[in-house]
Amino acid sequence: MSSETELTRLSATALAARIRNGDVTATEAVEAHLERIDERDGEINAFVTVCAEAARDAAAEADAALEDGADVGPLHGVPLALKDLGALKAGVRHTYGSALFANHVADRTSAIVQRLEDAGAIVIGKTNTPELGHKGTTDNEVIGATASPIDPDLNAGGSSGGSAAALAAGMAPIATGSDAGGSLRIPAAACGVYGFKPTFGLVPDDGRPSAFGRELQHTTKGPMTRTVADAALLLSIMADPHPDDPNSVPVEIDYRDAVERSIDDYRIAYSPDLDVFPVADEVRAVVDDAVTAFADAGATVDEISVDHGYSMAELSEAAMPAYTTSVLESATVMEEAHGVDFRAQSDEVSDSLLAMLHVADDHGPADVARSGIVRTGVYDAVQDVLADYDLLVAPTLSAADVSLHADLEAEAWEWPMTWPFNWTGHPVASAPAGLTERGGPVGLQLVGRRFADDDVLAVSAALERERPWDGLYD
């Protein structure tokens, strides 16, 4: 293994320790990841923008700080990839995945990015996302589709697909993502990495000009990593209230200590299909096997029914007005803030986004209100399960074979088993469960009680110890 490959396969925690100890310089860490981007990104297409010179300058400053004996943060010198949606960095191109914003440059830095930089992270680039993050695969009119490094014939998933692919290909050790219907968890499953959707309100979002566009689908930002310990570290930095986020909540959670916790007394509920999702047999086989790891780690595991009482058709019918309206809200804010018109400039807009906007136009407040009844039914059912169990686990995706340029229609609701938990606001992680016999990556969702994000981390870490997934990466 070359020194460059060794550095690009280290966890962020390990890399930061080596930089602090003087075994590796920040400059060496940044250069290794830039070389990896040069080697792999032509095939994967994870990065929209690479901040090579700025990253080199920041690395030189980081090395000088250590030489001067300065106190440094827990991510000092560690390269960081930012999703090109919401994770703004002043002076860096920020496209929102839209050709209409191909030359747009951010004029401010988002709160979570500032916190990560204050902890010493070095922004190495911006990662690909579908336009406005509107769908569960990553493809757009800016740079095209992003592939899963596990199988480049498969899509990386969306909408944080570029971040997940960058991690799996060793082009960055940590990345940001966001999740309105599974956008952290879908690509984590599709690329074999770890994505964590925190309880709504824990990680602040200081988005402007509208601070109130996240409630309908409980949209939240969160970490994407290759290890559970790295996700816990990022959460310890990203979380905490922020005065610019009206949804911010002051809840203290010890994320990092949770990783070492025993799960001997945990009770885990396993739903193979959330009652109604059409899970492929090859996915079910992988997940069935992965779930046995929790018993091996000392937990009690029971297969259960969620008993929400809805058919797949009823759930997807309720999802449509709420989700498409949230996308329409995002487009409207963009139009008001930047003077663009997605419909009038349709030649530069993704067909799938235009179709979603037209669907949203057909839904009114009454449709959204009716969807809230179904949403409440699902919430109550999940709460009932979590009244008796510490965690609920289920597959992340119902299939493991979505192709690079897939055009999902009905499968847009049937493929990701993630969006019901954006209705409920619970903390959910997607951890690698393994590969199908054909080599498709499979993810396992771990759902915790609201504000029990540490329990999700504890059980995730137990899974990682019992079934290490670092063998997924070449």
Q: Mind telling me the catalytic residues?
A: 83, 159, 183
Task: List the Cα angle 197/223/21 in 5-degree steps.
Answer: 150
Question: By C-alpha distance, which of 373, 369, 413, 420 is closest to 394?
Answer: 420
Tracing tokens 């997605």 back to the chain, one arrives at 342
Report the alpha-carbon distance of residue 210 to residue 339 in Å, rounded.
15
SS (H, E, C) 317-376: HHHHHHHHHHHHHHHHHHHHHHCCCCCCCHHHCCHHHHHHHHHHHCCCHHHHHHHHHHHH
Peptide bond into 183 cis (omega under 30): no
Coil, helix or strand at residue 394: strand
User: How far does the chain reach from its first CA to its final CA, in angstroms?
Assistant: 11
Asked whether the CA dihedral 310, 313, 314, 319 is positive or negative, the reply is: positive
Peptide bond into 420 cis (omega under 30): no
CA 389 vs. chain centroid, Å, equals 25
Question: By C-alpha distance, which of 308, 240, 300, 246 is closest to 273?
Answer: 308
